[in-house]
Amino acid sequence: MLNALMYEAAGAGPHGTVVLLHGFPGNEKNLDLAQAIRRAGWNVLYFDYRGSWGSPGAFSFQHSIEDAQSAVAYLRDPANAAKLRVSPGEIVLVGHSMGGMIALYVAAHDEKIVGVGAISAADMAGRAALPPGTPTDVQKQMLAGLSKGLAAEGMAPLAGCTPEGLAAELMAHPEWSLANDAAGLKSKPVLILTSDDGLAEPAEKLAQSIEQEGNEYAKSVHFATDHSYSDKRIAMEEEVLNGLEFLQNQ
């Protein structure tokens, strides 16, 4: 049972629906983006992962991925789709930061997701990946550095986890790296937005890899702004809305 809000678009529907995924720990919820998407005629499902912001359970990255998959399954359930005026065949994932990493991963492993948008996707697992045979002392240094970084992001909204445990989880799952998503995204529209927050390079490389896989519908846009797009909110939202309009016209 996750805390969630459904922003229902006007009109009888059924409507295409965006699942909006927040980052770590989720201080930036992008609910202005949710309202903009709703005005454009799409439903938006926003939720808080297990163990975050009051949702029951223990927070972990694995749980967050599973929760995103469960949200999609919830929308595809015929009874829920009818009640919420959802078109089950028009589900899009849009995520910010860690949510971008999750959106790309889930979309790459679910062929029925019709499109995905990543806003400053954080390649958290990619940064944590170490080659096989890495000496133990180097692994410990990586664990300590990752733990410190996660703790600095703020753990108060999260339950059932520690910085050390989350860091170890990232190190144990290199398959979550953005670089591994390219093959699964080669046949669907992908929008990748980046900013001057130090996270752009892996996301831009993913966009290039997707194009090399033959995807003609991959778009990458860079904004000279911070991680929250503080002075570029409207421009960022316009890119997302343009991407959704493209999907509607397919």
Q: Where are the domains of the chain?
A: 4-126+176-248
Tens of pLDDT, residue by residue over 8-60, are 999 999 999 999 999 999 999 999 999 999 999 999 999 999 999 999 999 99
Calculate the alpha carbon distances from 46 to 19, 147, 164 in Å.
Answer: 6, 27, 28
What type of residue sits at position 116? V
Task: Report pLDDT digits (tens) over 110-142.
Answer: 999 999 999 999 999 999 999 989 999 999 999
- CA 70, 71, 77, 79 dihedral sign is positive
Spatial distance between the Cα atoms of 183 and 214, rounded to a whole number of angstroms: 10
Residue 143's identity, in one-letter code, is L
Q: What is the DSSP letter of 52?
A: B
What SS3 class is residue 225?
coil
Mean pLDDT, residues 206-211: 96
Residue 181 carries which DSSP code? G
**Separation CA 80–CA 226 (nearest Å):** 37
d(CA 155, CA 162): 8
The terminus-to-terminus CA distance of the chain in angstroms comes to: 35
Report, at the CATH architecture level, how domain 4-126+176-248 is classified: 3-Layer(aba) Sandwich (3.40)
What's the maximum distance between 2 C-alpha atoms anywhere in the chain? 60
